Each structure stands twice: as C-alpha cells, then as structure tokens.
Amino acid sequence: MPTKTHSPAPSDKALVPFVSVDHMMQLIHMHGVADMLRGLARYIEEDFRRWEKFDKTPRIASHSPGGVIELMPTSDGEAYGFKYVNGHPKNTAEGLQTVTAFGLLADVATGYPVLLTEMTLLTALRTAATSALVARTLAPKGATTMAMIGNGAQSEFQSLAMQALCGITHVRLYDTDAAATAKCAGNLAGSGLHVTACATPEEALEGAQIITTCTADKRRATILTGNMVGSGVHINAIGGDCPGKTEIAPDVLNRADIFVEFPEQTRIEGDIQQLDPDHPVTEIWQVLTGAAQGRHSDAQITLFDGVGFAIEDFSALRFIRDRIVGTHCFEPLDMLADPDDPRDLFGMLMRAQPD
C-alpha cells in the first residue's frame, strides 16, 4: 500500500463495499451453498412477484469479432443495478475465462453505489436458484430424480439447487465428455445426492421427473428429441441462451407448455428462437403471482426456457448487499470523491498534497 496522503478519511457513504471472488467464496462457505441458493431464490421470487415495478431496459451489447461485452441495467425505483458481463468463446485457448462478470448496486434516491461485487460465482448461483425456483413451481409433485445433461460449470449448482429447493435426491449425469461427468460426480460426492454417471442421454433420462439441459455447444444442437421425452416431466432448458445456440428439438418444444422469463428476450436468445414469434408462452412471474396457470395435469410436459434476465442479477445484488452485513466478506473501496464542500473539489485535491 502506498503512503496515505493528508486527505481526511472519506465519509462512510463515499466508501463502496466490494465483494471480491475470495470474499464471495468465504461468504458461501460461511452459510453453505444450499442456504445461499435458498436465500437467492427467495429474493428472486420476491422480485418476480413485483415484476411490473421494474424498468426492463434491454441489455446494451458491444459486439466485436472475438465476442461481446454487455451492460445489463435494471431498477425497481428504489435500487438500481447493473451487471457487466462478457462472452468470448476463444478465451479458453489462452487460458482465460469465456465469461467474466461483476455487478454494482446503487441507491436510486442518491445515485450512490452501495455494492460492487464479483458476479461470476454469483451468476452461477442465481442461475441455479432461478431454475430450482421455477422447477419447484412447475415440476410434478414428489419429483425425486433429475437428469443433468451437460456436466460443465453450471451442473453442480443446478444439482444442489434442485436438492435444496425441490427435494431432489437422485441426479443422473450425462455429458459427451466423460471427464466432465467424472468432475461433476466428484464434486457432488458428500452432497447427500445419489449420483449416477450415465453413458447415454437416454440412460440419464430413465426415471427422471426433471430434465435439465445445460450444454455448451454454440450451435443448433438437439440434445433432447421427441422420442426421448415422456409425458409428465419438467424440462429445465438453460443451455440455449443466445442466438444460434439451442438444445431442444422443435417437436419437444411443440409438445410442451413453455414458460419464460421475459418473452421479448427469450424469443431472440432461448430455445424458442426455433419457433414462430407468436408461439404461446407463459411468463413465469405470472405463475408466481397466480395470474397465469402453471402445471395443470400429471401428463403435461412443462418446459422452462431459461436465458437469464437482468432482474435475477438485481435480486442477487440485493441478496449479497443484505448478506454481507456484519461479516468480514467485503472491503470498503474509496471510489467516490467526497470533498467537504462540493464546490471545492480542487481544494480537496490540494489538501491531499504530500509534504
């Protein structure tokens, strides 16, 4: 650390709590993954139930040949949040992450930031919490088994969220890469879940009431086709999440009742990009408020075409803001200039001159 200058310590409001990656991991371990997932789902449900209060600005994307950088802002009129997130598929070749993310929450009344946080881990948690919140609402009662197709970075979080929120006891794993399945199974050892590594997607689907697809192929893939999917299941389709990237065959989509976060976004990014732009879908927030019907029969196939929406990040930011209170899982950042007299910014600078 450099020598402090003579400037007086900044006031409390000028210090922005910052949650680093290390802090986030400490916070998760302090509470346990299951508790964090349940807490997040509570905040997300709360925000989904007051969906109409939110300013739903489309994300602002800056595209380049190598990828995209996006800002995802939203506000409920009291708090304002945004997430910075990039997507650069070629990064892994250079030992970098494809996606990195951080987020900020601010107070609408003053414009002052109140939280800056890593959001790579937090996004993984909120994505899983959203899936499980939706599955708790739509999956057949008494579901015990989930098929997990695609055993990448999101697979453990999905499995643990379905355990924590929906009471799933068995997970059946499948990935085209057996090493990914082994990694996921290893990470879930000790979770209390019965984990079965499967050699084919068909095997993974045996006896599953919930089917989660989360594969990484950036193309029109068909992970689930018609003859694989029986009646009565809930499909949690979260890997089809950008234009040109889908997982579910149209005949499965056509047999299912489809639930989405925000139709305007999902029709561009989700699996339903394969369907007509006026294909009927139900907004999940309306199911949560009771304004729309969820599952209405045992034979029905429900499908959540999840793409991730800014309001979920907002809920996650609110959750972390509240959860770090009284912990050491943050550090105050001296990010906002705070002269005693706002007209005397220069005087503040002069008084900070070293001897």
- Interface with its own copies in residues 55-74 (CB under 8 A): 55, 57, 60, 62, 64, 66-69, 71, 73
Total Cβ atoms within 10 A of residue 155: 25
Q: Which residue has the tokens 């989509």?
A: 253
Q: Give the span between the Cα atoms of 270 and 237, in whole angstroms.
A: 9
**Binding of its own copies by 113 (CB under 8 A):** yes
Is 337 among the residues that bind its own copies (CB under 8 A)? yes
What residues have CB less than 8 Å from 311, skipping those under 6 apart? 44, 47, 48, 51, 54, 56, 74, 261
- Cβ closer to its own copies: 27 or 272? 27
Least distance (Å) between residue 237 CB and its own copies: 19
241 as an active site residue: the answer is yes
**Residue 96 interacting with its own copies (CB under 8 A):** yes
Q: Does 227 bind its own copies (CB under 8 A)?
A: no
What values do phi and psi take at 113, rounded to 5? -60, 140
Confirm or reject binding of residue 331 to its own copies (CB under 8 A). Answer: yes
Interface with its own copies, residue 52, by CB under 8 A: no
**Whole-number Å distance between alpha carbons of 35 and 237:** 24
SS (H, E, C) 279-327: CCCEEHHHHHHCCCCCCCCCCCCEEEECCCCHHHHHHHHHHHHHHCCCC
Q: Which is nearer to its own copies, 184 or 307 (CB)?
A: 184
Q: Of 77 and 226, which CB lies nearer to its own copies in the complex structure?
A: 77
- Min dist CB 59 to its own copies, Å, is 10
CB of 212 to its own copies, least distance (A): 15
Measure the CA–CA gap between 73 and 71, rounded to whole angstroms.
Answer: 6
Kindly write out the interface string for residues 126-165 of this chain, putting x where it contacts its own copies by CB under 8 A and - elsewhere.
Answer: --------------------------xx-xxx--------
Contact 307, 261 (CB under 8 A): yes
Least distance CB 302 / its own copies (angstroms): 27
The catalytic residue among 175, 241, 305, 313 is: 241
Q: Which residues are catalytic?
A: 241
